[in-house]
Each structure stands twice: as C-alpha cells, then as structure tokens.
Amino acid sequence: MTLPKKSNIFSAWFLACFFFSLGRTQAQFPMAWDAGIFGNKFDELVAAREFYDGGFVMGGVTYSDVGGDIHDTPRGKGDFFVVRTNDLGQPIWTHLYGSTETDRMTALDITADHGLVCVGRSLSDQGFEKSTPGFGKNDFWMIRLNDKGDLLWDKSFGGSGDDYPYSVAVHPSGDIYILGFSDSDPSGNKTAPHYGSNDYWLIKLDAAGNKIWDKSFGGTGDERLYYGALDIDADGNILLGGSSASDAGSMKASGNFGGMDFWVIKVDQDGQILWEQTFGGVEEDQVQDIIATQDGGYLVAGGTRSTAGGNKTSGFYGVIDYWLVKLDHDGNMLWEKTFGGSGLEVITGLAENSVGNILIGGLSDSPMDGTKTKASLGEYDYWLIFLDKDGQEIWQEVYGGSDKDAMTVLFKTSDGGYFVGGDSASGRGGKKTTDNYGFNDYWFFKLDCGWDYEPDYSFSGCNNQPIDLNLTTADCPGCIYVWPDGTQADTYLYDASAPFGEKFEVTVSNRDGCPLQKPVAVRFLEPPVFSLGPDTTVYEQTAYVLRPIPSYPDVQYTWSTGDTSLTIAVTESGTYALEMGDADCFDRQEVHVEFKGNRQIFVPTAFSPNDDGFNDILRVYGDVAVENIKRFMIFDRVGSLVFAQANFLPGDNSAGWDGKYKGRFAATGVYVYFVEVEFTDGTTEIYKGDVSLIR
C-alpha cells in the first residue's frame, strides 16, 4: 500500500492506500520571507536545492496553462516545472520540459558546473524535450540543464513494466545515481533482475548520462521507495531508504515485522551491499527521507501506522505519525521517536545542523493532541519539529493558511537557516503572505536563525610567544567555534606566523546550530628589551639596588617581590625577576644576587704564646667573603722571615704562628705580617700590619 509523498489531495483513496512529545520551551526560528510560484491550475513542488549564488532551484509537476509564472506552452498532460529564484524566492526563470503525455518530475540535484539534473517518471514517447522513446509504461526520464535552464541532453531508462524514479544524487566523483522502484523484468535498457512485486532499482551514470550499471534490490514481496530516499555519505557510499513487505529471502537477509517496514541498504560505488537493515512495527512503516549525519551515522524518517512492536518501541497517536530512526555507521538502531496527533501526519523531510540538532517536517491535520502542541491553521499545514541530537523536542510550529498546505521539501541552507517548501491551496492568511492563483501553487519560505551578539574579538600579544585566543563569552553560552583551518575549539594558540593573517573570521554556532561569521583581529607587539645585569655578588653592603637597563616610559613594572616601582633594593641573597611591559606584551628577566659579607680580614695586634691556653696562636680571621688565605708571612724587625703558611681558611688554628722560630721561642717584640687573601668573587688583596709578641 502506498501513499505518494508529494500529493496534497488527501482523498479517501489517499488514506486507503497508505504510502507510502512535548520538549523544552524555546523560540522557533523566525520566518525571513515566504514566496510562491503560481500557475492557474495544479502545480506541485517536489524538490529544491540551494544554488551556487545563494538563490534556489526547485521543481515539480504542473498541469497549468500559460499564465502567472508559467511562460512556456504546456507540452502534454503534465510537465516538469523547473524554477530558479534569487535569495528571496523571486523567480529568475521558469521552464517546462516534457512530451505529449504525463511527465511528472520527482527529484533534482546540482552538478559541479552549476547545472541541474532533474528526474521523473514519464508516460510519453518522443516529443518536445524528450528525445527517446518509451520502453514500457512509466519510465525513468532524466534531463540535464545548464544554470539558465537550457536543455543539454535527456536520457530514458526502463523496462517493459512500470519504473518509478524518486531520487537523484550527484556523487563527488561526478557520477550520477538515480533511485526508484520497478516491476519490470530485464528488458528495454534494464539489465538488473526482477525479484518480487516491485524492487528498488538503482542506476549509476557517468557525468554525460551514460549508464555504467544498474542494480535491483528486493525480496519476494513488494519493495518501494519515495522522495528523498537516496543520500551519499562522507565515505562516498550510497544510502537507499525505502519500505519492504518481503520476508528474508533472495537478496534480503533481514525479515519482516509488519505490513511494510523501513528497509535501509548501504552500498558502495559499485553497488555492492555493505549492510541492510529492517525496522518496523506490526503495521505499515514507510521511509520518506534518509540523510547521512555528521557523526558518521544516519537518520531515517517516514510515516508509521504501527504501535510498539517489532523493533519499534515508541507509541502511536493517530492515523499516520512521524517516525524518526537514528542509526550508527553500521546500520544499528540507536534510538527511535514517534510524533503525532489523532489525525494524519506525513513526514516528508529532515535536516541536521552543525551541532547535531534535527529539524523534521511534513504535513499534519491533527488538532492539539498527542505530541502536537500547536493548533492547526487550515485543513492541513506544514508541521515542523526541532529536536536535539538525541531526538528530544526543543520546539514545534505549524505554517500555512486556511486551506490545504502540504510540505514536501526541507533542507538546511548555507547560512544556517532552513528552506521549507511544498504546495498550497490556501490564500493569504495565517502564516502565509502570498495569494493563491490556481488550485495548487508552489509555496516556500526561509527560516532564519534569528540571533546575533557583538563580541570584541580583538587580541594582542608579543610576537615572541603564542597568543591564546579565547572566544568564550557569557553572551554566547554553549557556542561552538570553527577556525579558518577547520579546528573546532573555544581557544586557539596563535603565533607570529599568523596563518590566517591578522584579521580573519571564525564561524560561531549557537546551541541551535545557527552559524554567524565573526571578525577576529590579532595585533603582534614588540616586547621591551632590557636587562637586570649579570648575576652579582655583593660585599660590604647591607642593600643592593636592582634596576632595568634601559627603562621605558608608560610601561608596567612587576617585580617578583610584588613591588611595582622602577627600582627595588634587596637585602637578601636570591633570584629576583622583573616583568616589564603591559598585560598584552611583556618581557621577563632574572638576576641572582648573592650577599657575601663585608670582605673583612682581622689579625690580632698582639698574642702571648706562653702555653697557658689563652691567645697562644696568632691566627688570620675573615668573613664569608674570603675564599682562601693564599699566603700568611711574619717578619722580624730586621726583615727575616720567621713564619710562613699558604692556602688555608680563615681561623684555621693549625695554620697560625705559635711564636716559635726554628723550634725555639722567638724573642718578644714587634713583628710585621703580610696576608694575601683570595675572595669569593675571584679577586685578591694583600693586607699588612704589626703584631706584638708578649711573654
């Protein structure tokens, strides 16, 4: 059972053919503008992308005649309708593409040369823009456009049955992948096998549209995919998301939980399966969108009619609910959440921002019940829910007029906002400011992040040491900072090589993932150059004055003693430091000062060597400044040397004169001494004087 995602006419057939929480209070993103693209009948928007110039390209199907924004003559019963707008949603050009029957566009993507690839299903043979005949019933049809909307080429792919394309993605390599479902056997230009009722059908093309290979994926039952069911992850692998009613068998290893289950497949660039997983409850569950997330995992979104059961643990609220599943890199379920009211909720898009928050959206006709806390504006509305990275609701909002408004497109824009689009039967009113011209028009709007702050990110420091650039501020709690080299951090050690220059911008994202570009200015200063002189030994002083050489005006002086004056007087041995400059740039120098006393030498003027134990030895005394007594000599009055000693320390009793000469007591009288002293600073001095020998 299937429900086409993009239709906005919810008839009894629509409901019969199933396709296919209250959180923290926080203000939603403001609507920057809304706009419409108008025809006079039925126009259905199914795909959109941000273009290289900041504008948008979008497309869908139109059944309208010439008029409003439709300037080309209709080709058939329904045509591809492609529009390019500026950054405010105002049309730059609109074009129709098709042939004589119904050609219904379903997806688009942008090429490296700023062109477009658009795909859809076609019942037409050759005619107008379609150069190839049909192969069966519905075929894949792809057109390649330049940025002006000119057709460059077109390609058709199909077998003898029905082949429905719903997604297209341009790989970083330039190759193009088209995904849909098919009930065709190998025929036409389809070479892949047919497994069940419908199978996933994936085609790989080169940049010129030439088929490289095609692959089928399926079991014995029914497999279907719809809009947004294709994505390319950071490794270049391909994600396929759809629904399966098959039990395990054929190439499907996982079983079935209910009617239709989420069936997710990851393949490499050669189409080889890396893994496949099934998720679901006991009823119908169908994928509508899949994206690769920045943590290496995946988000799968769709609709559910299942209560808890299978591997679905969350509840069920109404006719159809939003169902969101988070997977890790290997396809294992991390968590799943259900959102809905008592009516119909069809999830049609999701996006992840730079901090991992998730925006999901679709259409809703429920009143305020279940997890829906916003009143309806019309018969059904766009319903957006903003979640944290764990799926917890932050806020929700409805958008629309008084009639039918069906969201079909949602993506994050390069400025951190969101583009939301779909089709609308409402006139002006509610949250819609545009009129309605036909039964259904394209209606889309831009949500802005709506925040700002004004930091002073001016830094200065010495060019001889890194500057710690710290961007944290109370005005931006929990913000994430990305530097020009891709580093994500609050701080950055920035040296004088200035890899980003002295003026650059950082990307700041708040807790909602809304980015801003903020300027940073860095100024490198020359530090003051000074000296405190060499390490110094101080003699015969009780204080020593330290001063920087040279000194500078208008700078700060901070000594290790705590003094802030230009000079300080020190009285104790130790290492002293001075920081000179200012808070942004200063230099630090140290000097060691050693106090060594007063360089004093003392020799008594008399001694009495009579063996009475008192003053019997003539010694040389000195303070701590004396390193060595190099020579100590004593002469009598006629100049004869009567005693000599060398290389001893002051006060050494064994190095003194005991008053004897050649073993005999010397005569009493006056003698002359000479003392040569070496000090701790390496200098030497000679001292002389008289001494009296008394008996």
**DSSP string of 78-121?**
BEEEEEEE-TTS-EEEEEEE--SSBEEEEEEEE-TTS-EEEEEE
pLDDT at 6 over 50: no
pLDDT at 109 over 80: yes
* Long-range Cβ contact pairs of 147-152 (< 8 A, separation 24 or more): 147/51, 147/52, 147/84, 147/114, 147/115, 147/116, 148/93, 149/82, 149/84, 149/93, 149/94, 149/95, 151/97, 152/115
Q: How much is the mean pLDDT over the chain?
A: 91
Best mean pLDDT range from 358-367, 530-539, 582-591 = 358-367
Structure tokens at 547: 């001063």
Determine the CATH number of domain 458-525.
2.60.40
Identify which has the larger pLDDT, 207 or 27: 207
Best mean pLDDT range from 199-203, 452-456, 523-527 = 199-203
State in Å, rounded, how far the first CA of the chain is from the last one: 136
- The mean pLDDT value for 392-402 works out to 95
pLDDT at 11 over 50: no
- The mean pLDDT value for 402-423 works out to 94
Structure tokens at 191: 């070479």
- In the sheet that holds 586-595, the strands lie side by side as 536-538, 586-595, 574-581, 556-559
**DSSP string of 563-597?**
--SS-EEE-S-EEEEEEEE-SSSEEEEEEEEEE-T
How many of the other CB atoms lie within 10 Å of CB of 330? 11
CATH architecture assignment, domain 601-693: Sandwich (2.60)
Would you give the DSSP letter of residue 654?
Answer: G
Q: Taking Cα atoms as reference points, which of 386, 242, 360, 357 lies closest to residue 295?
A: 357
- When pLDDT is cut at 50, 70 and 90, the band that residue 4 belongs to is very low
Peptide linkage before 455 cis (omega within 30 of 0)? no
- Residue 90 to residue 585: CA distance in whole angstroms: 53
- The mean pLDDT value for 625-653 works out to 93
pTM, two decimal places: 0.74
Domain with CATH 2.60.40.10 in the chain: 536-595
- The mean pLDDT value for 530-549 works out to 86
The pLDDT > 70 percentage for the chain reads 96
Q: Taking Cα atoms as reference points, which of 610, 675, 681, 688 lies closest to residue 649?
A: 675
- The mean pLDDT value for 434-440 works out to 91
The pLDDT of residue 168 is 97
For residue 12, the surrounding DSSP H or E stretch is: helix 12-16
pLDDT tens for 301-319 read 999 999 999 999 999 999 9
* Alpha-carbon dihedral sign for residues 445, 449, 451, 455: negative
Q: Taking Cα atoms as reference points, which of 96, 244, 268 lies closest to residue 181?
A: 244
pLDDT at 3 over 80: no
Determine the CATH number of domain 536-595.
2.60.40.10
Domain with CATH 2.60.40.1220 in the chain: 601-693
Identify which has the larger pLDDT, 251 or 402: 402
